[in-house]
């Protein structure tokens, strides 16, 4: 079974600085997707960024980028020029590509990292 580990329960960053959130995962599959979701105090789960495992190029979305290391099974999120609105819980998630291989198509989440942004 796949697992996702976020080893940093809490992180803090100064406004306008850069922070990196760590995520590692365990899988025997070669094809899968990885995600970072943001959950602000409103509890709404918001997709931040998505990475297909077959793509070597790291995904980027404006100030958010990932460092995807497939061999190391590592998927970290870098937030540049941090803003007060970035304060939230961040969840790393994994999903198999193929439903037929016993996957339910669901996301497997890590336990989250709480990010605080200091003004």
Partner 1 sequence: NAGVTQTPKFRVLKTGQSMTLLCAQDMNHEYMYWYRQDPGMGLRLIHYSVGEGTTAKGEVPDGYNVSRLKKQNFLLGLESAAPSQTSVYFCASSYGQQETQYFGPGTRLLVL
Residue with smaller CB distance to partner 1, 15 or 52: 52
Cα gap 61→48, rounded to integer Å: 8
Tell me the pairing of strands 46-52 and 60-61.
Answer: unpaired
User: Interaction with partner 1 in 13-52: which residues (CB under 8 A)?
Assistant: 33, 35, 37, 42-47, 50
Q: Which of 11, 76, 107, 116 binds partner 1 (CB under 8 A)?
A: 107
Q: What part of residues 54-83 is at the interface with partner 1 (CB under 8 A)? A: none
Choose between 4 and 21: whose C-beta lies nearer to partner 1. 4
- Which of 87, 107, 86 lies closest to 32 in space, CA to CA? 107
Residue 2 near residue 95, CB atoms below 8 Å: no
Q: Annotate 16-28 with DSSP letters as a single string.
A: TS-EEE--EEE-S
- Binding residues vs partner 1 (CB under 8 A): 4, 33, 35, 37, 42-47, 50, 91, 97-99, 104-107, 109-112
């Amino acid at each position: 079974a796949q697992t996702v580990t976020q080893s940093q329960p809490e992180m803090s960053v100064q406004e306008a600085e850069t922070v990196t959130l760590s995520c590692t995962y365990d899988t025997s599959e070669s094809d899968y997707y990885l995600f970072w979701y943001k959950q602000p105090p409103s509890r709404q789960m918001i997709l931040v960024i998505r990475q297909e495992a077959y793509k070597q190029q790291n995904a980027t979305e404006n100030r958010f980028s990932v460092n995807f290391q497939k061999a190391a099974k590592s998927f970290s999120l870098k937030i540049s020029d941090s803003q007060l609105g970035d304060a939230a819980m961040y969840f790393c998630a994994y999903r198999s590509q193929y439903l037929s291989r016993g996957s339910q198509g669901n996301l497997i989440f890590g336990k989250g990292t709480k990010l605080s942004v200091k003004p």
